[in-house]
Structure 1
């Protein structure tokens, strides 16, 4: 049984109407009815006749009371057996009725099962029919969707064809317009080139005329320039000879002045230098001295040593002992000869 059929059965029949519960209730009712009938129809023993005691008041002497009638035991037994037969018959009838009720209940249950099966089959058939309808509807929808998509595709293709035709038409119009514009521009360009050639030819003629005029003036200027150059060259040569003579004179003066101040510096260093007793005439220390324009010592360093530390240190001490060196007042002479110079310390040369 499918889930849908179970759902239909469970929701369509109340729990108290289920076949099992009805069968149990029916059996219970049958038993109760049987017991009640048996208790109602059971023969009751006949009550014993009442004995009435009376006393006759008379003048006659009292008579003895009559004896109670005797019950026939055989008749009583017969009645009891008859009652038992009736009870047994009723019991059998009740059993038959119960069996008939049970059979009827079974038939009802079977009928109910048959109806439920038919109901389930009907539900399944309805479900299958719904499924077929759903599939048919889906197929119809798919077919409609395919038809719609086909129509849309055809409409789109038609629109694209129209758009392509419109594009080609516009492209042809654009190309025609561009061709017309190109021809117009080409004519304008050719006219511009013609005017430009005429202008260039006119400019060329004017330039040629200007060139000839310029060449004439240039030749005149060159002749004048040659004459001027000759004059300037002669004057420059004269100035050069004069400057050379002045430079030679100044050089001689500077050399003479430098020699004089070098002699003064050597003299002062000679007096300030105290070589060690171990000094020999072969020892020589070369120092590089840097001075300021004021004659003050800027720096001193040993360029070439004598081989004796004491000899070298004595030369350095002699240079450092002078607070100011004699220097010329001419800045040119100072920069050329005394800004930086070397001097040799030798016992023979420093005498």
Structure 2
């Protein structure tokens, strides 16, 4: 019910205007038409004519006998009713398919709209990041230029003062400072180079570790999926057998059952094991035999089901079973 409430909220339609309600009304109308048509075409019973013995005295011309009104063949009536029922089911299935297609298209449009919004958001974020990086780069370049200008001005004033005071000593000091600066710069560059190499090595090792972890996770996931699939198949066979045993215990085979009869039923279950619906999809040709199979299915209050929801959805949400006089298949 919660899934239907979400549909009503998103479409803004009242429940009685939903595609599901329309489909149910269409089913009911078609079944009513089929029942009324069956009532109209049922042949009425006629009393046999009384026999009268008479002796003709005078020879008279023989009057033409009225032709008997042909009665509809019960087999033709049943066949027409079956065709009407199948046509009603086909129309109902087509209506349900159209509703599902409309819902799928609506969800696809919503998904595409969300993807487009996400793409625009990411593009805006990238553009904002680019503009921010450019602004920061310009600000850093301006600060460096101002700092360099101040440093040059200070060095020029110091150099001029030192030149006037001791020109020779200034030349020696400058040479010494230049050598020390070059050595410090060389050491700094070497340290930066080593740091970059260490960072690149660490990044490569991290990437290798992540690839190995991803490979192990994939292998573990594949193994878990295979194990889960095997467990699902085992549970399917186990609970199919339990269901057949329960049905065999609940089924009373009618005396009219003969070899070769097959009644195929589609069973729909709820996750708690209760019967949601049962439908005769292929009759045996014997009404008593078909009804006994339907009664056996409906008599079980709770069917045995596996605990795993995936196994239930794949194998037990809806399945078919065949009733024959010898066994269930």
On whether the aligned pair clears a TM of 0.5, the verdict is no
Rg larger in structure: 1
